[in-house]
Structure 1
């Protein structure tokens, strides 16, 4: 079920990117047609600004993913594996043609297709414990490396913009980022609340049926501050224009 939610988010983001790309292409064509008599300045300085903004956008997005993965993995140590990961039901390893049934004695033993057999909250389940460690390591690696690259490119932009600011590019960067992180926040806030309430107050009888709220809560924790940040930056640009 958790995968379904993430699939919906990916679909929505892909749709938004497609619409933004299409709208940007149409705008560029219209702009070029209307200004065909004017020279379009795409010098080294402009191209460098475009490069820095694109890389800043990409590195921040990847850092966001890494942070979500890290928080989700860390939460599994604090609040338990079912909080962050979906557990699998063991299958029956048949011996002497007797099928294993949970909570009964038989010649068959439970086994796992993936991961290892363990007992959580009194139930035998299958889970790959390396997911937690991989989540911490991969999440931290992505977050730290991408934030370093993001910082380098943003600092470079700050130095360049002291001499020359390409306002339309800055506005486009802030506005697109605002759209992306606002959509992520709008999706993750209600879903994380729904999953969290269900996890705390309406746990299913069997632990394997729990819908893990960890990743959605982590997404909300990461996306909301970014949403607010880009909203403030966009409003500041609007105020400067009005002045």
Structure 2
């Protein structure tokens, strides 16, 4: 007897997680790392920092030829709004166009920088969604890991305060105020997960189609990256428990 019911994919295992905030007033806000060619905005430095933490925690021993077995997916509802607003204000004021601002306003720019810094030569994607960002990123990772040439997928999300123009765009696209409403325009936060198929060293697993579970959390607002923060916190607690048990 045969059936047309699809075979479910195995869950995703979390190898590493990281979060970072800047200018939010939280006690754990960080100083932004300096990135050559990136100025004014917290977007790219925050994306870089959470990626760095994840990859440093679980290096894969890539050769000098590059890490071709890791893919990266970056999600941001409106991208680098700080840079986009700065470029617009300069244009309206009649100031000379700064090509650097055009370059860094594109999320793909920091992905290119990360590929050089970390030796990643696998696929790299940026996406924007009004749906739950965590769900979208897990679905992307789930699909990418069907490729036998890939071992891991680094997923990350970034949000900025954005300022009044970004808030107006958000209200037009969604309902209510943006996730970081009330914070300075250059305030921001980012979270990242390094994902693989389950195995040794993956104390937390999640299915791409089951992110409404309270243990992982869901986006508090359309396009929010809160789900990434919730899952990163779950992984951090599980890792602490594993390390405590190992030392007993």
What TM-score comes out, normalization by structure 2 length? 0.28
Which one has a larger percent helix, Structure 1 or Structure 2?
1
Larger Rg: 1
What TM-score comes out, normalization by structure 1 length? 0.29
Which one has a larger percent strand, Structure 1 or Structure 2?
2
